[in-house]
Amino acid sequence: MSIRIFVTGGTFDKEYNELNGELYFKDTHLCEMLRLGRSRLELEITTLMMMDSLDMNEQDRETIAKACLEVPEEKILITHGTDTMPETAALLARQIKNKTIVLTGAMVPYKFGSSDGLFNLGSALAFVQTLPPGVYVAMNGKIFEAENVRKNKSRGEFETIHQPTKQ
């Protein structure tokens, strides 16, 4: 069974507009990145939206959830802006129980030399193949459960909210 990838935008896919000096969305770089990674996975790719995750509202998140529920694939990767990735993950976790869903993104646009995008894409594709059903965030080489992750905006990295309790 193939893996479904939903593209929603995020820093990952931002381009530099040389006419006005602003960052914007054109097309996703996902296919170029998969070629670069010499991926031989069976993938179905759908662009749901191309937006900054700070601009996403509840309806956008419902669109993503609906898309996850409707497709036949049980393994789903979502590229997403980092700022509200945990919110989307939490909403998906409440609605979807029987699929493995991994969200990932990038701190720096793929087209910048210093992007983490390709690393994150590789890691997210591996996590989605191996993890049991659930909703996860794959960033910084780590995997986080949807209900226990936040973006530390001052450090620019993802972290767990609750420390694991020792028993």
Using CA atoms, how far apart are residues 71 and 42, in angstroms rounded to an integer? Answer: 15
Residue closest to 4 by CA, chosen among 101, 88, 81? 101
Contacts of 122 (CB under 8 A, 6+ apart): 37
Angle, CA of 120, 38 and 85, to the nearest 5°: 20
Interaction between residue 16 and a copy of itself (CB under 8 A): yes
Interaction between residue 122 and a copy of itself (CB under 8 A): yes
Interaction between residue 72 and a copy of itself (CB under 8 A): no
Residues near a copy of itself (CB under 8 A), total: 48
Interaction between residue 103 and a copy of itself (CB under 8 A): no
Interaction between residue 25 and a copy of itself (CB under 8 A): no
Residue 98 burial class via C-beta count within 10 angstroms: exposed 0-12, middle 13-18, buried 19 and up: exposed
Residue 126 one-letter amino acid: A
Residue closest to 108 by CA, chosen among 120, 100, 99? 120
Of residues 60, 115, 137, 149, which one binds a copy of itself by CB under 8 A? Answer: 115
- Contact region with a copy of itself (CB under 8 A), list: 14-22, 60-68, 85-93: 14-22
Interaction between residue 37 and a copy of itself (CB under 8 A): yes
Interaction between residue 133 and a copy of itself (CB under 8 A): no
Using CA atoms, how far apart are residues 28 and 12, in angstroms rounded to an integer? Answer: 8
Residue closer to a copy of itself (CB basis): 91 or 118: 118
Interaction between residue 166 and a copy of itself (CB under 8 A): no
Residue closer to a copy of itself (CB basis): 65 or 101: 101
